[in-house]
Structure 1
């Protein structure tokens, strides 16, 4: 597995009426963040961008980048309703159930 790939893809709904997109890696998350409007950037955006960039230069892990990107998506209202939250390996289904409870 690529060191920059997310364990579980981050599912987002970029705009109402558009289909759900899946972000599979740090690189895809960075591409998405770089296209985010400047007027809508803030502290959570900065944390996500820094974590994703840090993962590309081995300062942060892909898991840290995924969590930061998911937090950004949640705060921005982009997170799809059916997103799975990463847990410990093999516990993704349980993590999903717990997060939705």
Structure 2
């Protein structure tokens, strides 16, 4: 498995009616973040970007980058309704929303 691949893909939807996209890796997350509008980039965006970039240079663990990206997506209302959030240490996954 590629060291920058997420354990569980992050499922996002960018607009109502559009299909769900899956982000499988740090590189895909960075590509998505780089296309995010500048006027909508805040502290959570910067934290996600920094974590993902840090993972590419071995300063941040991949799953930490994934959690930061997921947090950004959750707050930005991008996470798909069926997105499962993995537990930290091999526990069961839990649903994000009811």
Runs (4+) off by over 4 Å: none
User: If each structure's strand is expressed as a fraction of its own residues, which one has the higher value?
Assistant: 2
Alignment map for 1:10-29 (pairs within 5 Å): 10-29=10-29
Residues in 2 aligned to 1:77 and 1:100: alpha-carbon distance in whole angstroms: 12
Q: Tell me the matched-pair count.
A: 97
TM-score by length of 2: 0.93
Secondary structure, counterpart of 1:22 in structure 2:
strand
Tell me the residue number matched to 1:4: 4
Secondary structure, counterpart of 2:84 in structure 1:
coil
Tell me the residue number matched to 1:96: 94
User: If each structure's helix is expressed as a fraction of its own residues, which one has the higher value?
Assistant: 1
Mark the runs of 5 or more structure 2 residues left unpaired by the alignment: none
Residues in 2 aligned to 1:32 and 1:83: alpha-carbon distance in whole angstroms: 17
RMSD (Å), alpha carbons? 1.3
Secondary structure, counterpart of 1:6 in structure 2:
strand
